[in-house]
Every structure is written in structure tokens, then in C-alpha cells.
């Protein structure tokens, strides 16, 4: 019972990071109808940014959050203007393939520049923290990651749902032609989505460096989880993604307790069940 | 019911250009076959033969992918599943003492059945929903094979080394030409099967489904059934590659038989060469295998590899500049030359006349 409780808590904490990663993915999907297969690679680049901020500048992963966020936001803008923006309006196949190519490219770039070795930040500040609540032990890095991820996810949701600019982005997603008649340039809004997604994944990467190691393939499991989360929350729904992130985290924690080798398989099976049985997800409207 | 060709609507930016629906002539096929047959004689060293064997084997898999992804428009990122079905079935039976020919032959219907079984629920999904589902299925199988007892788990399976003969499908590693010509034979078989499918009614139907599924359904095409048919043949062709691959390397484990990277490479080969073009995947396979070989030598030992970097850059470049791949670029470059030559054989780059006879069922 204690183990189960512990797994649920751990799952909830990592679920917050899933939510943050998934928010950018669902935003790009909801507004542009593009699936960003390179999303996990953006997280991976955020992790490397944070790692090098530590190894070159001596910055704790917590302090490199703004740096990682801004760097990956720029990367996101580059990805949009350099590749994804150029295939909009072309065939669905070209749109599926282009982010897939970006994924391979970014992973290859990391492998070329930094070799497949894993990089870890030893003893980040957060690792010194530790709480015991009854029988449940909560590590500092997990709490920091979860709190940071929740704040960032909340910020994205606030921006999209409560600000004028966020409204403009949503308008461009719902009806690009009508939006452009209202003086909104859809292409700028699309670029903004990539910047926001970059911010979110960069922040997620820096947060993750508190207890994960960076490697060229570090993003793979996160993007697969993010697909599951996005499907579960309803493609395009930000609030849905946030909730689903926590749920999928808990599910992963619990499955991990009984069958640690099968957590990813269970999550992917969940994706299949969701898209086949309830394609609109928890909160989606499509 | 009217011919499905009436469904064509002008969509200039389709990934496969106007020539994408054209099937190869016997002349082109004979030329390509002759060049492939001459290759190991022109390049006599073992390393070149190795490149050729891998290019042909992966060319088979990519041609299989292209049938479903390029012609039927169902982009699968999980075709390693069928490659792995071929590899594991062949490995399992050969380890039991079966003839590799029988083992490979048996793996084909198995992969076709599996592809249909996966397609049955998943073909209700469209576009990226389908693509992600194919990743999910393939990754689940990868995880199961890695962890469950009975299929070699993470250690994989080695195949016994037996007497070298055509019957045993094992040859000398000093002179790899027999491996090459068997691969060529298998490629011809795969190409013939895909060609027979595409030239018939089913071929026109799947292309109609790719171009506009609603319109295809509206004129009475059983969309689900023809997607399943394409998936079954696509799976079987890809399994053929897996079966032969395992006989060549005599080893299979989850990453080499079922890994996501494998699915990625089939897709990349087809996209690079030309999605929805008959010879595109074969061309892409040769280019990628060659690039991989050259870069691995160049950067060996450093732990770095540039092949992924190059693949990714190529794919992005191809999809933003010429979604028809290298074949389309080649045709574009060839067009002015052909015109200057008097237009005698310039038909290759000429726009296809509407309702060309070739696409009639």
C-alpha cells in the first residue's frame, strides 16, 4: 500500500512534466494541424542547453531555466521558418514527413556534436532537498520539476485562454481566413506557436536536468508519452493535455510498480485505446 | 460504376507528382535490372557487394512501405514490425532446422495477416492519428519481444552456420556475389508483386483513396478493404526483406529486427527516392546505404556519426523543395536535355495527358 502511494505520488510529479511537454505539442496540433515529431528533440536540446550552462558557466539547472527556454524558443522559430512553415498548404504527407525529418536531423546533430554519451549534472541544488510525509518520500528534484512544470503549463494555458494575443492564436487556428480579415496574420500566429512550444520544451528540458541525463535519444520516451497525453487530453486541448499529463504520469507510476519494463508499452496501448474508442479524448471537441 | 480516374482533382502540391501514378515500362525495368545485374561485376570488392546486398534488401522493404505509404497514402512509421516478422519467423524456423526458403515463404503470409490485423482497427484513423498508431503498435511489439521469454529477449538469436549452398541460403563471405544475386532475385519478385497489384483495379482504387478518401467512398470503393489489401501486400514484401536480411547477417535482436530506427529508414528511403514513384524507394535505399557506409568509415571510432544528420537534412530539404524526391529532381533536370535531344524520348518529363490509358482499370 505504501509502495502504491509512493508510485502514485512519483507518477503525479513526473506527470506534471509530461503535461508541460504535451502542451506545446497539442498547441501546434490544435492551431496548425501539424504533428511535431521533433518535439522530443526540442526537450533533448533543452536538456543539453541546461547541461552546458552547468559545465561551461557553472549554472545550476534551476538557474538555466530562462536560458534553456529562450534558446529552444529560438530553435522553434528556426524550425518553423526554416522548414515547417514552408510545407504549409502542401500535401498532408509532406507535412507529416517534414517534422519527422527534423526529428532525425536534430537527433543526428546532437549525436554528431556531443556523441551518444549521456551527460548528467552531478548534485544539482534541488538534490539536497528531501521530504518525508508519513511513509512517502519525496525527492527535491521531483518536487522542483513538478512545481516548475505546473507553473509553466499554467502560464501557457493562461496565455492561450486569457490574453488577447492568445485569442488571436486560437482564432488563427480555428479559421485562418476569417482571422486574416480581422488583421491577424496566421503565419505570425503559427510562428508564435512554435516559439511557445520551444519555451515550454526548453523549460521542461532544464527542469529534467535536475534528475535525468541528457543524451541524443533522451527526448524519445518523452515525445511518445506526449503523444499519449495529447491523444488522451483531446488533440488540441491545452487544459486536456495538462490533466491528461498528470493522469498518464500516475498510470505510468502504478504500472511501473508492477511491471517496470512495460510502462511505455502500457502508455502506447492507452493511446491506441483512446484514439480508437474515444478519439476526442477527455476534453477534446473534434 | 465509372472508372476511378474521374475522381482525380487537381492538387498541384501532392507529394507524388503527375508522374507518380505512372507505372514503369518494361524498357525502364529492363535497363534498371541490367544495371543492377552488372553492378557486382563492375565493382568487384567485397565492400561494394555488401553495400549492394543491403541496398537491395532495404530497397525491398522500402518498396513495400511505398505501396502503403506512397500509393495508398497511409504513412506507416511502424513497418519494422513486418520486417521483424520476416526476420524472427525465418530465424525461428531455421533454428529448428527448416529450409530458409520455406521459412521465408511461410513468413510472408504471416506478415500479411499481421498487417491486416493491425490495419483492421487502425485504418479507421486518418493521417497522423494513423501514423502515431503504427508507431505505438510497433513499439509495443518491440517491448514485448525484448522482455517476454521465448523470442531471444534482448540478447537476440543467432542462426547456425551450415554448409554453404543455395538451398541453405548461405554462401562464402569472401565472395558475396551469390548473396547479391539472390537479393536481386528477391527484389525482382517484390517489385513484380507490387507492380501487379498497382496495375490492376486495386492499384487505381488505393490511389483514389489516397487522393480523396471521401470521393473514393462516394463512388462505391470499399475503402477499408482496399487499404487492408495494400497493407497485407506491403507487410509481406517488407517481411521478405526481413527474412533475407536475417539470413545474410545470421543474427536478429529487437533493435536490428524491430527497432523504430528501422521503420524510420524505410520511410526515409522512400521519401528520399520519391514517394509514390515505383523506383523511388530503390534509389533512396542505394543512396542511404551508400551514404551510411561512407560516413561510417569516415567517422568510425570517434563515436560520432553524420549519417543521421545527413538523412534528416535530406528529408527536410526534399520535403520543402521537391516532395517528389530525387527522382522528381532528376526528371526536372532531365527535361531540358530531353527536349534538346529532339523530344524523341522526352515523354518522361512531359505532363501526363488527362485520363491516360495506363491508369484505366
Q: Is the pLDDT of residue B260 over 80?
A: yes
Output the average pLDDT for chain B: 82
Give the model's confidence band at A132: pLDDT under 50 very low, under 70 low, under 90 confident, else very high: confident
Torsion of CA B12, B18, B20, B26, to 10 degrees: -170
Q: Please, what is the angle between helix B26-42 and helix B177-199, to 10°?
A: 170
In this structure, are residues B52 and B183 in contact, taking their beta carbons and an 8 Å threshold? yes
pLDDT of residue B41: 84
Please count the structural domains in chain B: 1
pLDDT at B343: 53
Confirm whether B314 is domain-assigned. Answer: no
> So what's the pLDDT on residue B268?
87
> Mean pLDDT: which of A155-164, A262-271, B54-63, B125-134 is highest?
B54-63
What are the beta bridge partners of residue A132?
A137
Is B306 in the A-facing interface, judged by CB distances under 8 Å? yes
- Partner residue opposite A89 with nearest CB, options B13, B15, B136: B13
Higher pLDDT, B111 or B171: B111
More confident: A285 or B91: B91
* In the predicted structure, residue B224 carries a pLDDT above the cut 80: yes
B301 inside domain: no
> Which residue does chain B place closest to A105, by CA atoms?
B312
In-domain check, residue B158: yes
- Model confidence at B7, pLDDT cuts 50, 70, 90, reads very low
Q: Which residues of B touch A102 (CB under 8 A)?
A: 312, 316
Predicted confidence band at B303 (pLDDT cuts at 50, 70, 90)?
low
Q: What is the pLDDT of residue B329?
A: 84
Instruction: List chain A residues with CB under 8 Å of B127.
Output: 92, 96
| DSSP 8-class letter at B169 | T
The tens digit of pLDDT for each residue in A179-234 reads 888 878 888 888 999 999 999 999 999 999 988 888 888 888 888 888 888 888 87
Question: Within a domain: residue B57?
Answer: yes
Query: What percent of chain A has a predicted confidence (pLDDT) above 70?
Result: 98
Count CB-CB contacts under 10 A for residue B93.
Answer: 18
A-B CB pairs within 8 A amount to 151
* Confidence check: pLDDT of B4 > 50: no
Indicate whether A113 pLDDT > 60.
Answer: yes
Per cent of chain B over pLDDT 70 is 86
A36 is a domain residue: yes
The pLDDT value given to residue B361: 32
pLDDT at position B298 over 80: no
What's the Rg (C-alpha) of chain B? Answer: 20
Min Cα separation B72/chain A (Å): 11
Q: What pLDDT is attached to residue B351?
A: 40
Name the closest residue on chain A to residue B141, using Cα atoms: A265
CA distance B13 to B281: 20
In this complex, which of A91, A108, A231 lies closest to B15 when CB atoms are compared?
A: A91
Contacts of A96 in chain B (CB under 8 A): 75, 127-128, 131
What mean pLDDT is predicted for residues A137-152? 87
Closest alpha carbon within chain B to A277: B121
Asked if A110 and A205 count as a contact pair (C-beta separation under 8 A), the reply is: no
pLDDT band at residue A285 using 50, 70 and 90 as cut-offs = low
By residue range, what is the domain housing residue A161?
8-116+145-277
Instruction: Look at residue A282 and tell me if it is in a domain.
Output: no
Measure CB to CB from residue B309 to each of A112, A262, A275 and give the nearest one. Answer: A112
Q: How far apart are CA B209 and CA B222, in angstroms?
A: 9
| Cβ under 8 Å to B: A residues 81-140 | 82-83, 86-87, 89-94, 96-98, 100-109, 111-112, 115-117
Q: How many CB atoms sit inside 10 A of residue B137's CB?
A: 22
β-pair partners for B123: none
B139 → closest Cβ in A117, A268, A279: A268
Tens digit of pLDDT for each residue in B320-343? Answer: 888 788 888 888 888 888 778 765
pLDDT at B15: 41
Dihedral sign of CA atoms A68, A70, A73, A74 in order: negative
Chain A residue numbers with beta carbons less than 8 Å from the beta carbon of B137 are 268, 272
Report residue A171's pLDDT band, with 50, 70 and 90 as the boundaries: confident
The answer as to whether A121 is a domain residue is no
Q: What is the pLDDT of residues B108-135, one digit of tens each?
A: 999 999 999 999 988 888 777 888 899 8
**Measured between CB atoms, which of B131, B304, B311 is closest to A96?**
B131
Domain-located, residue B8:
no
Q: Which residues of A touch B11 (CB under 8 A)?
A: 91
The predicted model gives B93-119 an average pLDDT of 92
Residue A286 lies in a domain: no
Kindly state the average pLDDT of the residues B162-176: 80
Provide the number of structural domains found in chain A: 1
Residues within 8 A of A (CB atoms), B 108-127 only: 121-122, 124-125, 127
Residue to substitute from B312, B314, B321, B324, interface A, most A β-carbons within 10 A: B312
Query: CB–CB of A27/A238 below 8 Å?
Result: yes
Task: Judge contact between B88 and B145, C-beta under 8 A.
Answer: yes
pLDDT value, residue B342:
65
pLDDT digits (tens, 9 = 90+) for A35-73: 898 999 999 999 999 999 998 998 888 899 999 999 999
- CA distance to partner chain A, nearest, from residue B344 (Å): 33
Q: What is the pLDDT of residues B41-91, one digit of tens each?
A: 888 888 888 899 999 999 999 999 999 998 988 889 899 999 999 999 999
Q: What is the pLDDT of residue A58?
A: 87
Q: Is residue A221 part of a domain?
A: yes
CA distance B239 to chain A (A): 23
Cβ-defined contact of B136 to A262 (cutoff 8 Å): no
Determine the pLDDT at residue B16: 41
pLDDT value at position A73? 95
Examine residue B232 and state whether it is found in any structural domain, yes or no. Answer: yes
**Chain A residues close to B266, C-beta within 8 Å:** none
Q: Which of residues B282 and B220 earns the better pLDDT score?
A: B282
CA-to-CA dists, residue B190 to A48, A249, B197, B240, angstroms: 44, 44, 11, 8
As a whole number of angstroms, the distance between CA B250 and CA A16 comes to 45
Determine the structural domain holding residue B191 and report its residue range: 22-262
The verdict on B144 touching A (C-beta cutoff 8 Å) is yes
Q: Give the closest-approach CA distance of A167 to chain B in angstroms.
A: 26
Res A284: pLDDT: 57
B319 CB near a chain A CB, below 8 Å? yes
* pLDDT band (50, 70, 90) for residue B13: very low
CA nearest neighbour of B147 among A135, A264, A123? A264
Cβ separation B125–A276 shorter than 8 A? yes
Q: Is residue B320 part of a domain?
A: no
Q: In the predicted model, is pLDDT for residue B214 greater than 90?
A: no
The per-residue pLDDT for range A231-254, each reduced to its tens digit, is: 888 777 888 888 888 888 988 888
- Find the CB nearest A104 among B140, B275, B312: B312
Asked if residue B360 belongs to a domain, the reply is no
What is the reported pLDDT for B18? Answer: 41
B187 versus A168: the higher-pLDDT residue is B187
Please name which of B349, B346, B328, B330 lies closest in space to residue B338, comparing C-alpha atoms. B346
In a domain? residue A139:
no
The answer to whether the Cβ–Cβ distance between A94 and B323 falls below 8 Å is: yes
Note whether A210 and A49 are within 8 A (CB): no
Amino acid at each position: 500500500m505504501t509502495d502504491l502511494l509512493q508510485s502514485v505520488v512519483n507518477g503525479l510529479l513526473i506527470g506534471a512534466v509530461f503535461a508541460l511537454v504535451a502542451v506545446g505539442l497539442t498547441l501546434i496540433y490544435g492551431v496548425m494541424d501539424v504533428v511535431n515529431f521533433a518535439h522530443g528533440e526540442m526537450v533533448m536540446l533543452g536538456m543539453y542547453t541546461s547541461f552546458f550552462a552547468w559545465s561551461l558557466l557553472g549554472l545550476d539547472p534551476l538557474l538555466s531555466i530562462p536560458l534553456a527556454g529562450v534558446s529552444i524558443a529560438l530553435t522553434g522559430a528556426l524550425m518553423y521558418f526554416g522548414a515547417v512553415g514552408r510545407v504549409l498548404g502542401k500535401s498532408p504527407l509532406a507535412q507529416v514527413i517534414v517534422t519527422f525529418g527534423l526529428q532525425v536531423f536534430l537527433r543526428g546533430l546532437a549525436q554528431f556534436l556531443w556523441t551518444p554519451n549521456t551527460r548528467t549534472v552531478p548534485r544539482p541544488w534541488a538534490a539536497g532537498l528531501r521530504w518525508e510525509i508519513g511513509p512517502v518520500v519525496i525527492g527535491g528534484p521531483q518536487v522542483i520539476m513538478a512545481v516548475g512544470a505546473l507553473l509553466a503549463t499554467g502560464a501557457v494555458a493562461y496565455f492561450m485562454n486569457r490574453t488577447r494575443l492568445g485569442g488571436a492564436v486560437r482564432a488563427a487556428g480555428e479559421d485562418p481566413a476569417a482571422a486574416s480579415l480581422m488583421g491577424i496574420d496566421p503565419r505570425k500566429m503559427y510562428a508564435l506557436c512554435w516559439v511557445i512550444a520551444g519555451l515550454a520544451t526548453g523549460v521542461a528540458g532544464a527542469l529534467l536536468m535536475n534528475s535525468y541525463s541528457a543524451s541524443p535519444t533522451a527526448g524519445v520516451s518523452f515525445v511518445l508519452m506526449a503523444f499519449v497525453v495529447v491523444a488522451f487530453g483531446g488533440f488540441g486541448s491545452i487544459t486536456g493535455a495538462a490533466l491528461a499529463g498528470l493522469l498518464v504520469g500516475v498510470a505510468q507510476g502504478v504500472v511501473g510498480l508492477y511491471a517496470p519494463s512495460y510502462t511505455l508499452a502500457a502508455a502506447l496501448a492507452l493511446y491506441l485505446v483512446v484514439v480508437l474508442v474515444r478519439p476526442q479524448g477527455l476534453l477534446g471537441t473534434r | 460504376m465509372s472508372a476511378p480516374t474521374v475522381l482525380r482533382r487537381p492538387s498541384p502540391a501532392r507529394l507524388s507528382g503527375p508522374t507518380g501514378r505512372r507505372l514503369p515500362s518494361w524498357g525502364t525495368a529492363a535497363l534498371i535490372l541490367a544495371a543492377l545485374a552488372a553492378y557486382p561485376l563492375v565493382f568487384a570488392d567485397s565492400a561494394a557487394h555488401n553495400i549492394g546486398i543491403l541496398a537491395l534488401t532495404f530497397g525491398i522493404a522500402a518498396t513495400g512501405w511505398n505501396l502503403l505509404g506512397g500509393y495508398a497514402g497511409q504513412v506507416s512509421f511502424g513497418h519494422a514490425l513486418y520486417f521483424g516478422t520476416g526476420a524472427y519467423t525465418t530465424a525461428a524456423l531455421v533454428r529448428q532446422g527448416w529450409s530458409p526458403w520455406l521459412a521465408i515463404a511461410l513468413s510472408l503470409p504471416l506478415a500479411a495477416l499481421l498487417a491486416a490485423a493491425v490495419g483492421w482497427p487502425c485504418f479507421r484513423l486518418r493521417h497522423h492519428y494513423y501514423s502515431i498508431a503504427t508507431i505505438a503498435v510497433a513499439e509495443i511489439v518491440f517491448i514485448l519481444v525484448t522482455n517476454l521469454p521465448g523470442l531471444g529477449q534482448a540478447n537476440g538469436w543467432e542462426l547456425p552456420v551450415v554448409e554453404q549452398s543455395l538451398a541453405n541460403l548461405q554462401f562464402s563471405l569472401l565472395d558475396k556475389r551469390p548473396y547479391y544475386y539472390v537479393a536481386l532475385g528477391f527484389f525482382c519478385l517484390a517489385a513484380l508483386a507490387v507492380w501487379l497489384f498497382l496495375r490492376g483495379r486495386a492499384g487505381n482504387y488505393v490511389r483514389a483513396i489516397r487522393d480523396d478518401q471521401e470521393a473514393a467512398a462516394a463512388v462505391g470503393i470499399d475503402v477499408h478493404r482496399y487499404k487492408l489489401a495494400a497493407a497485407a501486400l506491403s507487410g509481406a514484401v517488407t517481411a521478405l526483406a526481413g527474412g533475407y536480411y536475417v539470413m545474410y547477417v545470421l543474427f536478429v535482436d529487437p533493435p536490428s529486427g524491430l527497432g523504430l530506427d528501422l521503420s524510420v529508414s524505410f520511410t526515409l528511403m522512400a521519401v528520399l527516392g520519391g514517394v509514390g514513384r515505383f523506383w523511388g524507394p530503390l534509389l533512396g535505399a542505394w543512396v542511404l546505404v551508400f551514404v551510411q557506409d561512407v560516413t561510417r568509415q569516415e567517422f568510425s571510432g570517434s563515436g560520432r556519426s553524420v549519417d543521421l544528420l545527413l538523412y534528416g537534412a535530406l528529408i527536410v530539404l526534399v520535403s520543402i523543395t521537391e516532395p517528389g524526391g530525387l527522382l522528381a529532381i532528376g526528371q526536372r533536370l532531365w527535361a531540358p536535355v530531353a527536349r534538346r535531344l529532339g523530344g524523341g524520348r522526352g515523354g518522361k518529363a512531359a505532363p501526363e495527358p488527362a485520363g491516360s490509358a495506363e491508369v484505366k482499370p
